[in-house]
Structures are given as C-alpha cells and as structure tokens.
Structure 1
Amino acid sequence: MLFRRLCFSLSKSCYLPFFLSSKLTNPFASLNSNPGFISNCESVKLRFQRRMSVNSHNLVSENAASSTMDDPRKPPVVPIPSPETAEPIEVFRALEASLGLQFSSQPIFPKPGPLIIVISGPSGVGKDAVIKRLREVREDLHFVVTATSRAKRPGEVDGKDYFFVSKEEFLSMIQKNELLEYALVYGDYKGIPKQQIRQYMEKGCDIVLRVDIQGAMTLRRILSKSAIFVFLVAESEEAMVKRLIDRKTETKETLLMRVATAREELRHLNEFDYVVVNKGGELESAVKLLESIIDAEKAKVQQRRVVI
C-alpha cells in the first residue's frame, strides 16, 4: 500500500487523479494501462531494493567486525600442553589459566549430617536384637538409652539398656523439659533424654531411638520429616505371638494385653517411612536392609535437617 502511494505521488504531476477525469469509466484503468506510470513505479522499486541491499550489507559487516573484537569477559587463550607428554600439574595449571579460574578443592557435595533413626514396632518383633547388631556393624551410631520407671528385668544393665529411675524422678524430668518424648506404657513411664541426643549429634553420630508405637507417633508430630521412621515387624502374626510366649517374662494377663496391643499396633504401619521384616533366623538380612536405608538417606540431595 505504501509503495503504491509513493508511485502515485511521483506520477501525479503528469496525470490527473482518476476522480477528476470525466473520460474514465474504470478509475484504475488509466493507471494500469499508462506506460509512464508503470515505468516510474518500476524505477522507484529498483532504487528501493538497491538501498535495502546496501543497508543489509553494512549491517552484516558491522556485526562481523564486532564479533571479531576481543571480549573482555573471556579469559585469554593459553596453549594447553599435550596430556600425553606434559606433566599432569602442568596441564592442570594450563587448564586453569585457559579457563580463567582456579579449581576448588572443596567437596562437591558436603558431608551428610547426622540422622535420627526411629525404630519401632509391636512387642515380639526383635527390636532389641536388631539394634544390638546394628550397633556392632556401624561405629558412627549412638543408641539413645531411654529412661524408664519400670523395674529392671534379669540381665538388663542400668545405663546400657535403660536408665532406671523412680516415678518421682521421671516426673521431675518431665517438669524440667528434659525429655524429647515420653509416654505411659503398660503402667510405666518411658522417655527420651534430649541432652544425650544433642551431645552425640555434635560428635557427628547418627542417633537410633527405640520406642513403642505410641512414642513413634508422638515423635512424628515433634520431628516431622526430620527423622527416619522404621517399622519393624515379624514375618507373620503367628511368629510374633510365639516370640512373646518364648520370652517367658509375662504373666498370662500381661501376655494377653501385649498380644492384643501388638495386633492393634500393626495398623500404624502406613504411618512410617520404611518397613523391615525381621524374619526368624535371618537377623543379618534385617540389619543389612536397615543399613541400606541409612546409606540411601545419606545419599539424598535434599538432606534431612534435625533440630532438637
């Protein structure tokens, strides 16, 4: 449209506009049939194309010239010796100079922080046996000794299996906010001392907590996703009950209560992160699986952040 207007303006000095001519029946006929008008249009078109060609050539030349100029942001080009003949340190320094940087000796991925592993499960699934073996195969692991108000069982050692305290002492620990979690289980108090966790995490140790299902649910609310929650089970309900019977530590009344509670606790399995089956006679398999879980957690890009 613009081109036609330009052509028309150049030719209007010689030709009257079509609306002033009384002889034209078709207003565009004179324009299309007039050789002078067409010649002028072709001439203008040719000059326009030549000018655009010159401008394009100049623009390309300027871009080519600017691309050949030195970029101050780029490091100077340094010849790199052949890795086959030169000393490794010589090649290393040449690469640094060529790239304009210094290779860092810092770890690409920082050392994983300590984890809190919460191990829980119904009575009779072998929590103590699994944790004991896990502590033997992993040196950087600390098992938090739980405080309890119950009496010692035969073979248990104070400060190793539990911290055995009176109910009055336990209630005092609650009032002083010295426990991460506590619960009343089968008529006795059990709780996890905070100071013990802080002390060993500062040393870089992973923390293992052994709690019942009730305690695990409380810790889930407190620690949320910052801890790993592992549900330990026997291979079957039948095997679990037989283990409780074989312990010979319960009266028939407490045995009935433990079995009923254990069956109910199995319903909480889906609230844990992992499940480990501790099949009878295959303790090593259960421990290796637990080790794999810990190793996998430490290899995660997004690490768990623990604050106690």
Structure 2
Amino acid sequence: MSKSAPKTTQMHSPEPDDTLARRGLMFIMSSPSGAGKTTISRMLLEHDPHICISVSCTTRPPRPGEVDGKDYHFVSRAEFDRMVENDEFLEWAQVFGHCYGTPKAQVKAGLKDGQDYLFDIDWQGTQQLYQKLERDVVRVFLLPPSIEELRRRLTGRGTDSTEVIAGRMARARSEISHWDGYDYVVVNDDIRTCFEKVTEILAAERMRRARQTGLIGFVRELMRPEEGDATEAP
C-alpha cells in the first residue's frame, strides 16, 4: 500500500442499530493483488466489532503460531473431500495444491442470529457464495487508481522478482475484468477515503428493510391503539 493505515482513534465505524432484530450479511471484498482488499479488511475487523471472518477449512498444514479452530479448521484431504461430497461448503477452491472451503452450517447459523461475516475472496468464490445465499451477500470490488500505481505498489513490496510481478499484473488484469459482477465498485486512491466508503456501504446494507427482521413486530406495536384512544367512525 502506498499509504499507511490511520490510527485507531481517528476512525469510527458506524454502529448498526441494535434496537431491532436483524439478519446478518456476508460482506465480500475482492480486488487484484495490490489494490488493497487485505488492508481494508484488516481495518474493518479492527474498527467494527459486529463483523468477523468465518473460520475456513483447509488441507494445508498449520503455519507457526496458527491455532486450529481459530485461524483455520485444519483437516485431511480425505475429510475435505468428504465435506465437498456432502455439500458442507458454501464455497471452496484449490490454491497452490491445498484446498480451502467455507463451512456452510456455521455461517448460516450466524446469519440467522444477526452475525455479519467478512470474506476476502476472489471473483470465483464470490460467484459461489452468491449462487448459494444471494439475499445475504453484499459484493464490493476494489480497483487501483491506475495500472501504473498497481505496478508501483507491487514493486514497492520488495518481496517478488520481476517475473512474479509480471505474473501478478497479468492476473490483475484478468481479475479486473470481472468488476461488473459486484454490487459496489470503489477506487482505492487513498486508504482512508476507501475505508470510509466501504464502511458507508456496510452501514447502508445493514439497514436494508429486508434484513430488519424485527421491523414487522415493531411497526405493529407502534400502530396498536392505546386504551382510551378514539376510534374512527365506520
């Protein structure tokens, strides 16, 4: 990223209205490598206590410091294949020889209880989630301000060779071509401004009438005549 993340005290994520019962949502952020989805995702998790990352299953071995059940559910390939066969994933993919999948049961239960989930996935995973739970999905795609800036960000990391960067740039163009499969598209020219736009999207989506499951009872109570109220003539 070309700009550092702001201090915690300077950023305030809008709080959802907790007065009424609400169905949770699946907030998806995608972007080509270097466009900022990982940074924005981290900021969102730090500033908003009402959203979390669902714990995925993976066949890769744990890395140092990773905890089973917290970072990932680490499973064997045989167990993963069994879960795929039993349709236990909302989405899954094989990446660099290892499989990753989002367990269906835990997410669906959380959504019912009003829990919001953040997904940092590519357009293929987004399509899978949208096909499974369309009404619960909010899709956001982050774009770099220019291809030149994207290349500068990737080069500035200082971790990849010229060949690797060329491959990432080619993949980025492919990923950008799927921008029109998203509900919202945000250009990440400035990390603070981008974060504010993303939190505005999240706040608005939380307030959609269809997600306010407590509205019907609340409105009926508002409309209930009080004792002694005059009644209208027939």
State whether TM-score is above 0.5.
yes
The alignment status of 1:217 with 2:127, answered yes or no, reads yes
Structure ID, larger Rg: 1
**Among 24, 43, 68, the residue aligned to 1:133:** 43
The alignment status of 1:289 with 2:218, answered yes or no, reads no
The alignment status of 1:196 with 2:106, answered yes or no, reads yes
- Pair 1:121–1:165, CA change in 2 (3 A): farther
Matches of 1:278 and 1:295, distance apart in 2? 19
Structure 2 residue runs of 5 or longer lacking an equivalent are 1-18, 214-234
- Pair 1:302–1:217, CA change in 2 (3 A): same
> Which residue of 2 is the match for residue 300 of structure 1?
208
> Which residue of 1 is the match for residue 184 of structure 2?
274
Kept in 1, the 8 Å contact 2:24–2:110? The answer is no
Matches of 2:159 and 2:75, distance apart in 1? 21
Shift of 1:274: 0.5
Task: Please list, as runs of the form range in 1=range in 2, the aligned pairs for 1:1-308 lying within 5 A after superposition.
Answer: 111-150=21-60, 159-247=69-157, 250=160, 254-279=164-189, 282-303=190-211
Q: Deviations over 1:85-123 (max 9, x none)?
A: xxxxxxxxxxxxxxxxxxxxxxxx954321111111222
Shift of 1:215: 0.9
Shift of 1:272: 0.4
What is the RMSD computed on CA atoms of the aligned residues?
3.1
Q: Deviations over 1:98-152 (max 9, x none)?
A: xxxxxxxxxxx95432111111122222222211111121111121133333466
- Pair 1:165–1:122, CA change in 2 (3 A): farther
* Secondary structure, aligned partner of 1:123: coil
Matches of 1:201 and 1:110, distance apart in 2? 15
* Secondary structure, aligned partner of 2:45: helix
- Pair 1:270–1:290, CA change in 2 (3 A): same
Q: Aligned AA for 1:132?
A: R
TM-score (norm 2): 0.69
Q: Which has the higher contact order (CA 8 A, sep 6+)?
A: 2
> Which residue of 2 is the match for residue 26 of structure 1?
none
Instruction: Return the structure number with greater helix share.
Output: 1
- Pair 1:155–1:127, CA change in 2 (3 A): farther
Q: Aligned AA for 2:33?
A: S
- Pair 1:247–1:169, CA change in 2 (3 A): farther
- Pair 1:187–1:197, CA change in 2 (3 A): same
Kept in 2, the 8 Å contact 1:225–1:304? The answer is no
- Pair 1:144–1:251, CA change in 2 (3 A): farther
- Pair 1:232–1:301, CA change in 2 (3 A): same
* Secondary structure, aligned partner of 1:184: strand
TM-score (norm 1): 0.54
Q: Aligned AA for 2:83?
A: M
Q: Aligned AA for 2:105?
A: Q
Q: Aligned AA for 1:286?
A: C
Matches of 1:165 and 1:241, distance apart in 2? 36
- Pair 1:178–1:121, CA change in 2 (3 A): same
Q: Aligned AA for 1:240?
A: L
- Pair 1:204–1:225, CA change in 2 (3 A): closer
- Pair 1:128–1:158, CA change in 2 (3 A): farther
Structure 1 residue runs of 5 or longer lacking an equivalent are 1-108
Shift of 1:228: 0.6
* Secondary structure, aligned partner of 1:119: strand
Shift of 1:153: 6.6
Shift of 1:296: 1.2
Kept in 2, the 8 Å contact 1:122–1:213? The answer is no
Shift of 1:241: 2.9
